Amino acid sequence: MVLAAASTSELEAESPIHSGNGEFLMQLSIGTPGASFPAIMDTGSDLIWTQCKPCSQCYDQQTPIFDPKKSSSFTTLSCSSNLCMALPTSMCDSGGCEYLYTYGDYSSTQGVMATETFTFGDSGDSQGVSVPKVGFGCGQDNEGSGFSQGAGLVGLGRGPLSLVSQLGVPEFSYCLTSIDDSKTSKLLIGPQAIGNKTSSSAIITIPLIKNPSQPSFYYLPLEGISVGDTRLPIKKSTFSLQSDGSGGLIIDSGTTITYLEESAFDLVKKEFISQTKLSVDKSGTAGLDLCFTLPSGSAQVEVPKLVFHFEGADLDLPGDNYMIADSSVGLMCLAMGSSSGMSIFGNVQQQNMMVVHDLEKETLSFIPTQCDQL
Protein backbone atom coordinates (compact mmCIF):
# COMPACT_ATOMS: atom_id res chain seq x y z
CA MET A 1 0.00 0.00 0.00
CA VAL A 2 1.19 3.49 -0.75
CA LEU A 3 0.73 5.57 2.39
CA ALA A 4 -0.28 9.08 1.44
CA ALA A 5 2.08 11.85 2.49
CA ALA A 6 0.98 14.10 5.35
CA SER A 7 0.55 16.89 2.83
CA THR A 8 -2.33 15.84 0.59
CA SER A 9 -2.20 18.70 -1.95
CA GLU A 10 -0.58 16.39 -4.52
CA LEU A 11 -2.55 13.33 -3.45
CA GLU A 12 -3.94 11.27 -6.31
CA ALA A 13 -6.47 8.53 -5.71
CA GLU A 14 -9.13 6.74 -7.66
CA SER A 15 -12.09 4.61 -6.79
CA PRO A 16 -14.15 2.28 -8.99
CA ILE A 17 -17.80 3.34 -9.29
CA HIS A 18 -20.82 1.45 -10.55
CA SER A 19 -24.53 2.11 -10.82
CA GLY A 20 -26.97 0.88 -8.20
CA ASN A 21 -30.71 1.42 -8.04
CA GLY A 22 -30.86 5.14 -8.83
CA GLU A 23 -27.57 5.82 -7.04
CA PHE A 24 -23.90 5.35 -7.92
CA LEU A 25 -21.63 3.46 -5.55
CA MET A 26 -17.90 3.94 -5.03
CA GLN A 27 -15.64 1.19 -3.75
CA LEU A 28 -13.06 1.83 -1.03
CA SER A 29 -11.93 0.16 2.18
CA ILE A 30 -11.87 1.31 5.77
CA GLY A 31 -9.74 0.40 8.77
CA THR A 32 -6.60 -1.63 9.50
CA PRO A 33 -6.79 -4.27 8.17
CA GLY A 34 -9.01 -2.82 5.44
CA ALA A 35 -12.68 -3.85 5.23
CA SER A 36 -14.53 -3.39 1.93
CA PHE A 37 -16.78 -0.33 1.97
CA PRO A 38 -19.18 0.19 -0.99
CA ALA A 39 -20.61 3.68 -0.46
CA ILE A 40 -23.13 5.93 -2.20
CA MET A 41 -21.20 8.73 -3.92
CA ASP A 42 -22.94 12.01 -3.09
CA THR A 43 -21.87 15.48 -4.22
CA GLY A 44 -24.98 16.90 -2.52
CA SER A 45 -23.78 16.30 1.07
CA ASP A 46 -20.59 16.34 3.16
CA LEU A 47 -20.50 13.63 5.81
CA ILE A 48 -18.65 10.35 5.19
CA TRP A 49 -20.26 7.50 7.17
CA THR A 50 -20.63 3.75 7.33
CA GLN A 51 -22.81 1.43 9.37
CA CYS A 52 -20.99 0.38 12.54
CA LYS A 53 -21.25 -2.22 15.24
CA PRO A 54 -22.86 -2.18 17.74
CA CYS A 55 -26.05 -1.31 15.79
CA SER A 56 -29.17 0.01 17.43
CA GLN A 57 -30.85 0.22 14.02
CA CYS A 58 -29.00 -0.87 10.89
CA TYR A 59 -30.41 -1.85 7.49
CA ASP A 60 -29.38 -5.04 5.71
CA GLN A 61 -26.18 -4.52 3.70
CA GLN A 62 -24.36 -6.90 1.38
CA THR A 63 -20.93 -6.59 3.02
CA PRO A 64 -20.19 -7.22 6.74
CA ILE A 65 -20.98 -4.25 8.99
CA PHE A 66 -17.79 -2.44 10.07
CA ASP A 67 -16.60 -3.40 13.52
CA PRO A 68 -14.33 -0.70 15.02
CA LYS A 69 -12.99 -3.19 17.57
CA LYS A 70 -11.32 -5.13 14.76
CA SER A 71 -9.40 -2.09 13.42
CA SER A 72 -6.16 -0.89 14.98
CA SER A 73 -6.49 2.59 13.43
CA PHE A 74 -9.98 3.53 14.73
CA THR A 75 -10.02 6.60 17.02
CA THR A 76 -13.08 8.48 18.30
CA LEU A 77 -13.13 12.26 17.84
CA SER A 78 -13.29 14.64 20.77
CA CYS A 79 -16.02 17.25 21.11
CA SER A 80 -13.47 20.04 20.70
CA SER A 81 -12.27 18.75 17.30
CA ASN A 82 -12.86 20.93 14.23
CA LEU A 83 -14.88 18.21 12.48
CA CYS A 84 -17.17 17.80 15.49
CA MET A 85 -17.75 21.55 15.53
CA ALA A 86 -18.49 21.50 11.78
CA LEU A 87 -21.43 19.09 12.22
CA PRO A 88 -24.91 20.56 11.77
CA THR A 89 -26.10 18.60 14.85
CA SER A 90 -23.77 17.12 17.46
CA MET A 91 -23.98 16.01 21.07
CA CYS A 92 -21.31 15.37 23.64
CA ASP A 93 -20.91 12.69 26.21
CA SER A 94 -18.07 10.79 27.86
CA GLY A 95 -17.69 8.69 24.69
CA GLY A 96 -16.74 11.72 22.56
CA CYS A 97 -18.53 13.46 19.70
CA GLU A 98 -21.92 12.08 18.67
CA TYR A 99 -23.68 13.19 15.49
CA LEU A 100 -27.07 13.23 13.79
CA TYR A 101 -27.08 13.93 10.03
CA THR A 102 -30.24 14.13 7.93
CA TYR A 103 -30.87 14.26 4.17
CA GLY A 104 -33.44 15.96 1.94
CA ASP A 105 -35.56 12.78 1.76
CA TYR A 106 -35.74 12.66 5.60
CA SER A 107 -33.38 9.68 5.84
CA SER A 108 -30.75 9.97 8.57
CA THR A 109 -27.66 8.52 10.20
CA GLN A 110 -26.72 8.81 13.87
CA GLY A 111 -23.67 7.58 15.74
CA VAL A 112 -20.16 8.46 16.88
CA MET A 113 -17.63 10.61 15.00
CA ALA A 114 -14.22 8.98 14.58
CA THR A 115 -11.13 8.92 12.38
CA GLU A 116 -9.93 5.98 10.39
CA THR A 117 -7.59 4.95 7.56
CA PHE A 118 -9.34 4.91 4.19
CA THR A 119 -7.85 3.06 1.21
CA PHE A 120 -8.75 3.97 -2.36
CA GLY A 121 -8.40 1.68 -5.36
CA ASP A 122 -9.52 -1.93 -5.75
CA SER A 123 -8.94 -3.99 -2.63
CA GLY A 124 -6.83 -6.38 -4.72
CA ASP A 125 -4.78 -3.48 -6.08
CA SER A 126 -1.29 -3.27 -4.56
CA GLN A 127 -1.20 0.37 -5.65
CA GLY A 128 -4.13 1.32 -3.43
CA VAL A 129 -3.66 4.70 -1.75
CA SER A 130 -4.15 4.75 2.02
CA VAL A 131 -4.99 7.99 3.83
CA PRO A 132 -4.89 8.00 7.64
CA LYS A 133 -7.08 9.99 10.05
CA VAL A 134 -10.06 10.66 7.78
CA GLY A 135 -13.02 11.86 9.86
CA PHE A 136 -16.22 9.85 9.42
CA GLY A 137 -19.47 8.90 11.11
CA CYS A 138 -19.66 5.46 12.70
CA GLY A 139 -23.41 5.06 12.17
CA GLN A 140 -25.28 2.96 14.73
CA ASP A 141 -28.81 4.16 13.89
CA ASN A 142 -29.32 4.54 10.14
CA GLU A 143 -32.80 5.05 8.74
CA GLY A 144 -34.02 5.53 5.17
CA SER A 145 -35.01 3.51 2.14
CA GLY A 146 -32.27 4.74 -0.18
CA PHE A 147 -29.16 3.47 1.63
CA SER A 148 -29.50 -0.30 1.32
CA GLN A 149 -27.29 -0.78 -1.75
CA GLY A 150 -24.20 0.47 0.05
CA ALA A 151 -22.62 0.24 3.49
CA GLY A 152 -22.86 4.00 3.92
CA LEU A 153 -22.20 7.20 2.02
CA VAL A 154 -19.25 9.38 0.98
CA GLY A 155 -20.03 13.09 0.89
CA LEU A 156 -18.17 15.03 -1.81
CA GLY A 157 -19.70 18.44 -1.10
CA ARG A 158 -17.92 21.72 -0.38
CA GLY A 159 -18.15 21.67 3.43
CA PRO A 160 -15.33 20.76 5.86
CA LEU A 161 -16.68 17.25 6.58
CA SER A 162 -16.52 16.05 2.96
CA LEU A 163 -13.89 13.75 1.51
CA VAL A 164 -12.52 16.36 -0.91
CA SER A 165 -12.26 18.98 1.85
CA GLN A 166 -10.55 16.61 4.28
CA LEU A 167 -8.07 15.48 1.62
CA GLY A 168 -7.42 19.12 0.71
CA VAL A 169 -7.64 18.41 -3.02
CA PRO A 170 -9.04 21.15 -5.23
CA GLU A 171 -10.07 18.84 -8.07
CA PHE A 172 -12.05 15.65 -8.60
CA SER A 173 -13.98 14.11 -11.45
CA TYR A 174 -16.31 11.19 -11.99
CA CYS A 175 -17.84 9.42 -14.95
CA LEU A 176 -21.26 7.80 -14.49
CA THR A 177 -22.09 4.83 -16.70
CA SER A 178 -25.62 4.29 -18.00
CA ILE A 179 -27.90 3.53 -15.05
CA ASP A 180 -28.58 0.00 -16.37
CA ASP A 181 -24.90 -0.75 -17.14
CA SER A 182 -23.22 -3.33 -14.87
CA LYS A 183 -19.66 -2.23 -15.80
CA THR A 184 -17.54 0.01 -13.58
CA SER A 185 -16.17 3.48 -14.15
CA LYS A 186 -13.99 5.80 -12.02
CA LEU A 187 -13.96 8.60 -9.49
CA LEU A 188 -10.63 10.46 -9.78
CA ILE A 189 -9.26 12.64 -6.97
CA GLY A 190 -6.35 15.07 -7.29
CA PRO A 191 -4.49 16.47 -10.34
CA GLN A 192 -5.30 13.41 -12.50
CA ALA A 193 -8.98 14.39 -12.21
CA ILE A 194 -8.24 17.20 -14.65
CA GLY A 195 -5.06 15.97 -16.40
CA ASN A 196 -5.35 16.58 -20.13
CA LYS A 197 -9.14 16.23 -20.11
CA THR A 198 -9.78 19.95 -20.38
CA SER A 199 -8.16 19.98 -23.85
CA SER A 200 -11.06 17.95 -25.28
CA SER A 201 -12.82 19.77 -28.12
CA ALA A 202 -16.23 18.61 -26.86
CA ILE A 203 -15.74 20.09 -23.37
CA ILE A 204 -18.34 22.43 -21.90
CA THR A 205 -17.12 24.52 -18.95
CA ILE A 206 -19.34 26.61 -16.71
CA PRO A 207 -18.69 28.64 -13.55
CA LEU A 208 -19.50 27.23 -10.11
CA ILE A 209 -21.48 29.49 -7.80
CA LYS A 210 -21.24 29.56 -3.99
CA ASN A 211 -24.22 30.08 -1.71
CA PRO A 212 -23.19 31.30 1.76
CA SER A 213 -26.41 29.97 3.31
CA GLN A 214 -25.97 26.49 1.72
CA PRO A 215 -22.16 26.25 1.53
CA SER A 216 -21.98 22.51 0.77
CA PHE A 217 -23.75 22.58 -2.60
CA TYR A 218 -22.30 23.03 -6.10
CA TYR A 219 -24.55 25.63 -7.76
CA LEU A 220 -24.63 26.10 -11.54
CA PRO A 221 -25.84 29.21 -13.41
CA LEU A 222 -28.74 27.84 -15.50
CA GLU A 223 -30.34 30.56 -17.63
CA GLY A 224 -32.83 28.68 -19.79
CA ILE A 225 -33.97 25.44 -21.46
CA SER A 226 -34.84 24.49 -25.04
CA VAL A 227 -36.99 21.56 -26.15
CA GLY A 228 -36.49 20.77 -29.82
CA ASP A 229 -35.89 24.13 -31.50
CA THR A 230 -38.07 26.00 -29.01
CA ARG A 231 -36.41 28.13 -26.34
CA LEU A 232 -38.94 28.01 -23.53
CA PRO A 233 -40.27 31.32 -22.11
CA ILE A 234 -38.74 30.70 -18.68
CA LYS A 235 -37.92 33.85 -16.75
CA LYS A 236 -34.15 34.19 -16.38
CA SER A 237 -34.57 34.65 -12.63
CA THR A 238 -36.30 31.25 -12.25
CA PHE A 239 -33.04 29.40 -11.55
CA SER A 240 -31.22 32.31 -9.90
CA LEU A 241 -29.98 32.19 -6.33
CA GLN A 242 -32.15 34.53 -4.28
CA SER A 243 -30.76 36.99 -1.75
CA ASP A 244 -32.18 34.87 1.10
CA GLY A 245 -30.23 31.83 -0.17
CA SER A 246 -33.23 30.03 -1.67
CA GLY A 247 -33.62 28.95 -5.31
CA GLY A 248 -30.73 28.18 -7.62
CA LEU A 249 -29.79 24.91 -9.32
CA ILE A 250 -27.34 22.42 -7.81
CA ILE A 251 -25.63 19.44 -9.46
CA ASP A 252 -25.98 16.31 -7.33
CA SER A 253 -24.66 12.79 -8.01
CA GLY A 254 -26.86 11.46 -5.19
CA THR A 255 -30.22 12.52 -6.69
CA THR A 256 -31.55 10.32 -9.50
CA ILE A 257 -33.71 12.52 -11.73
CA THR A 258 -33.56 16.25 -12.35
CA TYR A 259 -36.00 18.46 -10.46
CA LEU A 260 -36.88 21.84 -11.94
CA GLU A 261 -38.63 24.74 -10.27
CA GLU A 262 -42.35 24.13 -10.84
CA SER A 263 -43.09 26.93 -13.32
CA ALA A 264 -40.13 25.85 -15.50
CA PHE A 265 -41.00 22.14 -15.29
CA ASP A 266 -44.58 22.85 -16.37
CA LEU A 267 -43.27 24.57 -19.52
CA VAL A 268 -40.84 21.68 -20.24
CA LYS A 269 -43.63 19.12 -19.78
CA LYS A 270 -46.07 21.05 -21.99
CA GLU A 271 -43.48 21.37 -24.78
CA PHE A 272 -42.57 17.67 -24.69
CA ILE A 273 -46.26 16.78 -24.96
CA SER A 274 -46.62 19.18 -27.90
CA GLN A 275 -43.53 17.87 -29.77
CA THR A 276 -43.69 14.12 -28.99
CA LYS A 277 -46.00 12.33 -31.39
CA LEU A 278 -47.19 9.77 -28.84
CA SER A 279 -50.20 9.59 -26.53
CA VAL A 280 -49.69 10.63 -22.91
CA ASP A 281 -50.04 7.85 -20.34
CA LYS A 282 -52.40 8.92 -17.55
CA SER A 283 -52.09 5.78 -15.40
CA GLY A 284 -49.24 7.07 -13.21
CA THR A 285 -47.84 3.54 -12.91
CA ALA A 286 -44.24 4.61 -13.58
CA GLY A 287 -44.18 7.16 -10.75
CA LEU A 288 -42.86 9.95 -13.01
CA ASP A 289 -44.70 13.13 -13.98
CA LEU A 290 -44.77 12.59 -17.73
CA CYS A 291 -44.94 9.27 -19.58
CA PHE A 292 -45.87 8.36 -23.15
CA THR A 293 -47.31 5.11 -24.46
CA LEU A 294 -44.81 3.42 -26.78
CA PRO A 295 -46.05 2.17 -30.15
CA SER A 296 -46.28 -1.62 -30.42
CA GLY A 297 -43.45 -3.32 -32.30
CA SER A 298 -39.88 -2.10 -32.46
CA ALA A 299 -40.44 1.18 -34.29
CA GLN A 300 -37.89 3.91 -33.57
CA VAL A 301 -39.34 6.76 -31.54
CA GLU A 302 -38.37 10.36 -32.28
CA VAL A 303 -37.51 12.25 -29.11
CA PRO A 304 -37.27 16.06 -29.11
CA LYS A 305 -33.80 17.27 -28.13
CA LEU A 306 -33.23 18.92 -24.77
CA VAL A 307 -30.70 21.70 -24.21
CA PHE A 308 -29.75 23.33 -20.90
CA HIS A 309 -28.52 26.88 -21.45
CA PHE A 310 -25.92 27.65 -18.78
CA GLU A 311 -24.02 30.90 -18.44
CA GLY A 312 -21.45 30.79 -21.25
CA ALA A 313 -22.24 27.28 -22.55
CA ASP A 314 -25.05 25.06 -23.79
CA LEU A 315 -25.38 21.43 -22.72
CA ASP A 316 -27.14 19.35 -25.39
CA LEU A 317 -28.20 16.17 -23.63
CA PRO A 318 -28.36 12.76 -25.37
CA GLY A 319 -31.87 11.26 -25.39
CA ASP A 320 -30.91 8.51 -22.93
CA ASN A 321 -30.11 11.19 -20.37
CA TYR A 322 -33.69 12.40 -20.10
CA MET A 323 -36.03 9.78 -21.60
CA ILE A 324 -36.31 6.36 -19.95
CA ALA A 325 -38.06 3.71 -22.05
CA ASP A 326 -39.40 0.47 -20.60
CA SER A 327 -40.69 -1.80 -23.34
CA SER A 328 -41.95 -4.35 -20.77
CA VAL A 329 -44.66 -1.90 -19.68
CA GLY A 330 -44.80 -0.07 -23.01
CA LEU A 331 -43.89 3.34 -21.58
CA MET A 332 -41.32 6.07 -22.19
CA CYS A 333 -40.97 8.63 -19.40
CA LEU A 334 -39.28 11.99 -18.95
CA ALA A 335 -36.69 11.58 -16.16
CA MET A 336 -37.57 14.90 -14.56
CA GLY A 337 -39.92 16.28 -11.93
CA SER A 338 -40.96 19.55 -10.35
CA SER A 339 -39.67 21.15 -7.16
CA SER A 340 -40.48 24.25 -5.19
CA GLY A 341 -37.48 26.48 -4.62
CA MET A 342 -34.16 24.79 -5.33
CA SER A 343 -33.68 22.86 -8.59
CA ILE A 344 -31.43 19.78 -8.85
CA PHE A 345 -29.48 18.42 -11.84
CA GLY A 346 -29.57 14.68 -11.12
CA ASN A 347 -27.44 11.69 -12.06
CA VAL A 348 -29.59 10.39 -14.96
CA GLN A 349 -28.75 13.63 -16.76
CA GLN A 350 -25.02 13.06 -16.06
CA GLN A 351 -24.69 9.59 -17.62
CA ASN A 352 -21.72 9.04 -19.94
CA MET A 353 -20.12 12.39 -19.21
CA MET A 354 -16.87 13.08 -17.39
CA VAL A 355 -17.94 15.64 -14.78
CA VAL A 356 -14.87 17.64 -13.67
CA HIS A 357 -14.96 19.80 -10.53
CA ASP A 358 -12.10 22.32 -10.44
CA LEU A 359 -12.42 24.08 -7.09
CA GLU A 360 -9.34 26.24 -7.68
CA LYS A 361 -10.75 27.76 -10.86
CA GLU A 362 -14.33 27.49 -9.51
CA THR A 363 -15.52 25.71 -12.67
CA LEU A 364 -17.40 22.56 -13.57
CA SER A 365 -16.87 20.84 -16.93
CA PHE A 366 -18.85 18.22 -18.84
CA ILE A 367 -17.01 16.04 -21.37
CA PRO A 368 -19.00 13.44 -23.36
CA THR A 369 -17.32 10.09 -22.52
CA GLN A 370 -18.18 6.41 -22.85
CA CYS A 371 -17.80 5.86 -19.12
CA ASP A 372 -17.78 2.04 -19.13
CA GLN A 373 -14.67 2.05 -21.32
CA LEU A 374 -12.43 4.05 -18.98
| Residue 188 CA neighbour count, 13 Å, CB half | 20
Q: Among 66, 55, 60, 42, which Cα is nearest to 116's?
A: 66
**Cβ-contact 272, 364 below 8 angstroms:** no
d(CA 279, CA 120): 48
Q: What is the C-alpha separation between 335 and 337, in angstroms, rounded?
A: 7
Using an 8 Å Cβ cutoff, are 124 and 27 in contact? no
Q: How far apart are CA 322 and CA 332, in angstroms?
A: 10
Q: How many CA atoms within 13 Å lie on the side-chain side of 120?
A: 22
CA distance linking residue 216 with residue 214, whole number of Å: 6
Which one of the listed residues 46, 252, 281, 358 is annotated catalytic?
252
Q: Is 266 a catalytic residue?
A: no
Say which of 42, 46, 281, 358 is annotated catalytic.
42
State which H helix or E strand residue 275 sits in: helix 262-275
252 as an active site residue: the answer is yes
Nearest to 338 by CA among 261, 275, 271: 261
Tally of CB atoms within 10 A around 63: 13
Contacts of 283 (CB under 8 A, 6+ apart): 291
Rounded Cα distance between 21 and 43, Å, is 17
Task: Give the residue numbers annotated as catalytic, written as ranges.
Answer: 42, 252
